[in-house]
Structure 1
Amino acid sequence: MFFEMTYQVRVLNVEEGMRWYTTFFNREADFIPHEGFAEWEMLPGCWLQMAEGQPTQGSGPVRLAVEDLEKEIRRLQETLEIVEIEAFSRDEVPVKWTTFSDPWGNRIGLFEYRNKLEEQQRINELRSNKQK
C-alpha cells in the first residue's frame, strides 16, 4: 500500500533555493533535517524536498511511502528485475529510502518511516483526512 510521497528538486545554492521555495509556498519549510535540505508538505502526505546539489535533467525521484522497504525492494528485484537498488539511511533523517530508475531513466523511489508509531500516526491522519 502506498500512502505518502515526496518529490525532490536540486538547487545550486541552498540560500537562494530556500528563498525561492519559501516565496513559492508562501511559508517557511516544514522540516529541515540537516544542512542543505528542506521539505514542504504541499498537500497532506505530499512533500517537496529541496536539496543543494547539481540539478539533473529529466524527472524524479518521486518517492512513495511503504510500510516495509526491504520487502518492497525484494519485490521489485523479483518482479521487475531491478538490480541496482539498496536502502539508505542517515541518523538525522526519520526515514530510510531507496531510489532506482525505470527502464526509461526516470528516477523513482520508496521510503519507510523508521519510527513505526510515527508511521501509523501518518497513515491514520491521511485516512482521516480522506474520509472528510
Structure 2
Amino acid sequence: MTDVPKPFGMTLQVQVDDLERARRFFCLVLGRAPEFDPQGGDVLAWRVGDGETWLEVVGVTGPVRPLVTRVRFGIDDLNAARATVEAAGTPVSAATSLPGLARWADFTDPWGNQLGFYEVLDAG
C-alpha cells in the first residue's frame, strides 16, 4: 500500500442560490474581491491566508445545502469584523473567549452556512 502524498492546500465550498448577492456578502466578510471570478461562471473563489487554502462559493440552481459545521476566518480585529458584518444587516453573536488563546464570534450567511471570525490573543 502506498501512502497518499501530504496535502499542500485545501478548498472549502459553500453553496448559494444567488451568486451576485453572494459576491457582495463574501466581499464584505473577506474584505476584498475574489481572486477567481470567471465571467458568466458559477463559482467565485477567495484565497484565505497566504497558502493554498481557498473558499469557493458555488452557485446552484436547486436547493442550497448549507454547511452543517462552522467555518471561522482568522482576523486581526474581532470587534471591527463584527461591527462591519452587523452594519450590513447580518446578526453576529457576542464574542466568546478562551482567555489567553482566542476570541470568536459567529454568524450565518443568507443561505444558512455557519460562519464566524476568530482572533488569536496575545498570551503575554
- Scaled to the shorter chain, the TM-score interval is 0.3 to 0.5
Provide the TM-score with structure 2 as the length reference.
Answer: 0.44
Structure richer in helix, relative to its length: 1
TM-score by length of 1: 0.41
